[in-house]
Amino acid sequence: MKLKILSPIILIILFNTLQAQVKDYELGADVLGMRYNPQGGYYNYSDPEAVNIKVAVWGWVRYPGKYTVPSYTTVSDLLSLSGGPSDAADLEDLRIYRVNEDSTQSMIKFNYNDLLYESKLLSRYRKVPKLDAGDILVVPGEPRMYFRDNFNIWMSVFSVLISLTILVLNIVRK
């Protein structure tokens, strides 16, 4: 009797432990073939006939998150898949964080112009890195204030001052 109750529980535990393993490489596409998950930041652009790697894009891009892409994907392709950099992104300071085979971490800095003009760069000046499994592409930036934002702030301050003036005048009159 206990065996009938325990066997489904054991199967569920075994299935969950197999699914919980973290893999940075995949052969072929995902079974579901899902390209976009609106519930979270996982995007699957895998190729069924290639080796796929898992990378992440964080920072000032339209769709930050984790991506499953073919191993031949370039950094500019990954930026395009993530929706491109936002207007507040600092494209002169892109970074790739990588964990090496000996468990050391390294950071590779490069410029977006190196991506745009990669074919025209001489081989000795080439600084465009190749993506590896487990890489994290970080697009730094900072929010920018536009005229509309400044105008809203100053109008809020002005309306508070007008309201306080009216309040003081009403108190003084009585």
Residue-wise pLDDT for 25-61, tens only, equals: 555 555 555 555 555 688 889 888 889 999 999 999 9
Say if strands 136-139 and 51-59 run parallel, antiparallel, or are unpaired. parallel
Query: Model-level pTM?
Result: 0.64
Distance CA(153)–CA(137), nearest Å, equals 34
Beta carbons of 59 and 94 less than 8 angstroms apart: no
Query: Nearest to residue 129, comparing CAs of 78, 70, 54, 64?
Result: 78
Sole residue written with tokens 């930041």: 41
Instruction: Name the 3-class secondary structure at 34.
Output: coil
